[in-house]
A and B are shown apart, each in its own frame.
Chain A
Amino acid sequence: MEFSWLSDPFYQSYLLEGFINTLLLVIVSAAGGLALAITLALARLKGPRPLAWCIHGFTTVMRGTPLLVQLFFFYYGVGRLLEGIPGIQESLIWPVLRDPFFYGALTFILSVGAYSGEVIRGALISVPPGEREAGRAFGMSPTQVFFRLWLPRAIQLCLPTLTGEMILLLKSIPLVSTIAMMDLLQAANIIRDEMFLVYEPLMLIAGIYLAMTVVLTLVLRQVEQRFPGMRPTRGRRLIPGRA
């Protein structure tokens, strides 16, 4: 086992950059993706029919095609198309549009939106409608009913599934190394090439991913436990130890 490269400041900076990029990409994709998922789920349930059909089509395409293909499609396809727009290379947003981070985030946001959107839609459906009706009956506005009653209950119902989705997202991030983004895998690959090593850098980033997954799981478990009201059917007393 050869780990001398760990003390090389040059490689340390690669690894640090890769770690920060990976973390940033997860946070941006999770936040944007979940916001999109909630919007899509609500629009599919309550929006006009044609909109619901469009979302259904979008979801089918996003869930039916490989993530790597989508990433290439946005980076090489859409990215190259944008490049050709006259004047765009001089515009202020060009640094963003040129950055692989942008295409990675875009792809992951759309992907999380499609997968988690279906999860959240199912959860929204399974909240007993009487709970929303009670909100309306007391004069709450549709917005209040959604954000105070309906959505929190749906999230509560699907939180374990969403945790799984977020772990899958985290572990999809290395795909961006294929579009020249400096993530953890890219950093490891550089070290592997330059040090003529096969396993050691991979073992390091595998360990880092495992640690990140454990932290993510622990954090989301804390969130789950913030909902102590989550118990079986209403009207039934919970007997401790016999749920």
Chain B
Amino acid sequence: MTSSPNANTAPDTSSSPGATPASAIARPVEARHIVKRFGDLEVLRDVSLQVDEGSVTSIIGASGSGKSTLLRCLNLLERPVQGELTIADEAILFDRNRQGDIIGLDRRQLQRLRARVSMVFQQFNLWPHFTVLGNITEAPMRVQKLSRKHAIRRADHYLERVGMADKRDSYPAFLSGGQQQRVAIARALAMEPRVLLFDEPTSALDPERVSEVLSVIRSLADEGRTMVMVTHEMAFAREVSDQVVFLDQGVVGVAGTPQEVFDNSPNERCRRFVSPAA
């Protein structure tokens, strides 16, 4: 699929995703010293991550390295135990106990921030009782309080963008995995978020469906959208990323440009992970 020249121009650009941040140092995502534990299991041990406006960051690593957990911390589907998080120029206000451990957060801020950081899931997680159109208008109408008319206009725009306009009145169960994932991407785009998060967007797809989803993601990268992606598609990560982060047992093994991570990483485990044959 090719992206049309005006693909980035939504009919209603109240907050364009490529807008310049108010402050020069502000970043769409800045995570510092994130620690996450599930019971006794320490999944993330002091992970820091910076994402620049308009850049694509890929998080790679073995199963259990904490990739998905890190991504899920970025929209607080998982609440870190320690650390600081700035999302869309706003520092998250955590409630902490006397040891400095995070024990809670402000619900209203949470809902506000989540509306600016949209997520695409491995299992798509479309809502089966809504049509494709209903899936896409739901959050803009309920969370951003858009009028139905406005939300439908937006939904149609982004459905067109992912090449699913002809399926707008279908129910998710009637679509292939690749089609469902493209609808899920349109659903994320319809929030007009500052940051798009992708959690292994192609891992649940049949091999022949992977490319249709990757080409949509590639075209979004070409538009200059800020994206953070957990992926096992190494060639794709290398091709589209500005920054690659190799997570290893809950810490950042290497972070840098694709060349730095894939070609001549100083980290032995990273070298073995990206080219196991060598």
Interface residues of B in 174-192 (CB under 8 A from A): 174-177, 180, 187, 191
Chain B residues with Cβ below 8 Å from A141 are 111
Roughly how many angstroms separate A148 CA and B138 CA in the complex, as a whole number? 9
A242 is an interface residue with CB less than 8 A from chain B: no
B111 & A231 in contact (Cβ 8 Å cutoff): no
Smallest beta-carbon distance B117→chain A, Å: 8
A238: chain B residues at CB < 8 Å are 173-174
Residues in A whose Cβ lies below 8 Å from that of B124: 234-235
Please tell me if the beta carbons of B177 and A134 are within 8 angstroms of each other in the complex: no
The answer to whether B174 touches A134 (Cβ under 8 A) is: no
A229 close to B180 (CB less than 8 A): no
Known A-B contacts A229-B172, A235-B177; A138 and B143 likewise in contact (beta carbons under 8 Å): yes
Taking CB atoms, residues of chain B closer than 8 Å to A125 are none
B130: nearest chain-A partner, CB-CB: A229
Assess whether B172 is in contact with A234, with CB atoms less than 8 Å apart: yes
Which of A130, A133, A138, A232 gathers most chain B CB within 10 Å? A138
Decide yes or no: A138 and B128 within 8 Å by CB, A130-B123, A148-B142, A229-B172 being known contacts. Answer: no
Q: Mark A118-151, 1 if CB is under 8 A from B, else 0.
A: 0000000000101101111111110010001100
Instruction: Specify which chain A residues have a CB less than 8 angstroms from the CB of B142 in the assembled complex.
Output: 140, 144, 148
B126 close to A (CB within 8 Å): yes
Contact A137 to B77, CB < 8 A, known contacts A148-B142, A237-B175, A238-B174: yes
B204 at the interface (CB under 8 A from A): yes
Residues of A within 8 A of B127 (CB): 131, 134-135, 149, 153
Known: A229-B129, A229-B171, A234-B128. A137 touches B119 (CB 8 A): yes
Residue in A137, A231, A237 whose beta carbon sits within 8 Å of that of B114 in the complex? A137
Contacts A133-B77, A235-B177: A229 and B131 contacting too (C-beta < 8 A)?
yes
Assembled-state Cα–Cα distance A153/B180 (Å): 18
CB neighbours (8 Å) of A144 from chain B are 142-143
By a CB distance below 8 angstroms, the chain A residues around B187 are 138
Can you list, as one digit per residue, whether each of B69-98 has a CB less than 8 Å from chain A (1) or not (0)? 000000101000000000000000000000
Q: Is A227 an interface residue (CB 8 A)?
A: yes
The answer to whether B139 and A133 have CB atoms under 8 Å apart is no
| B contact residues, range | 35 or more
Do B176 and A230 have beta carbons less than 8 Å apart?
no
Known A-B contacts A139-B143, A235-B177; A227 and B129 likewise in contact (beta carbons under 8 Å): yes
A138 to B190, CA, bound (A): 10
Q: How far is the CA of A148 from the CA of B139 in the complex (A)?
A: 10
Given contacts A234-B124, A235-B204, A238-B174, contact A140 B129 (CB under 8 A): no
Expressed in whole angstroms, the minimum distance between the Cβ of A137 and any Cβ of chain B is 4
A116 interface residue per 8 A CB criterion:
no
Contact with B along A144-166 (1 / 0, CB 8 A): 10001100110010000000000
B110 cross-chain contacts in A, Cβ below 8 A: 139
Q: Does B259 contact A (CB under 8 A)?
A: no
Are B204 and A230 in touch, CB under 8 angstroms? no
Residues of B contacting A131 in the complex (Cβ-Cβ under 8 angstroms): 125-128
Cβ contacts under 8 Å, B175 to chain A: 237
Partner of A156, one of B77, B114, B126, B129: B129
In the assembled complex, the Cα of A138 lies from the Cα of B151 at a distance in Å of 15
Listed in ascending order, the chain A residues whose CB lies under 8 Å from chain B are 128, 130-131, 133-141, 144, 148-149, 152-153, 156, 227-232, 234-238
Contact sample, A vs B, 23 pairs, CB 8 Å cutoff: A131-B127, A133-B121, A133-B125, A134-B119, A135-B127, A136-B77, A138-B115, A138-B143, A139-B111, A139-B112, A139-B115, A139-B143, A139-B191, A141-B111, A144-B143, A153-B127, A229-B129, A229-B171, A231-B173, A231-B174, A234-B172, A235-B176, A238-B173
Q: Other than the known A138-B139, A140-B143, A149-B127, what 5 A-B pairs have Cβ atoms closer than 8 Å? A: A131-B125, A138-B114, A152-B129, A227-B129, A229-B128
